[in-house]
Amino acid sequence: MRAQRATGAPSTGTRVVRRVVGPDGEQGMTTAEYAVGTVAACGFAGVLFKLLTSDSVVRMLKDIVERALTIAF
């Protein structure tokens, strides 16, 4: 990232305004990109929830916990 002098800034002024610009000129995500990212995260969370609450996964996790609690020390 490189800093650029803001256009119209005085060359001898005491205050210099700078902005950070990425190598390709983009400054950040737009609202549409945030919306797509949010929808993707919610979709992934929904799939993960359905997977972890399915009968087979719940049964497998329950078996693992029961085996861990019944191990003789």
Selection from 49, 45, 61, 4 nearest residue 27 by Cα: 4
Residue 60 predicted with pLDDT over 60: yes
User: Tell me, what's the pLDDT at 19?
Assistant: 63
CA 35 centroid distance within chain: 12
Are 16 and 9 in contact by the 8 Å Cβ rule? The answer is yes
Mean pLDDT of 39-67: 95
CA distance 45 to 61: 19
Question: Which tens digit of pLDDT belongs to each residue from 7-50?
Answer: 555 556 677 666 665 566 666 668 888 999 999 999 999 999 99
Mean pLDDT of 54-70: 94
pTM above 0.75, yes or no: no
CA distance 24 to 41: 26
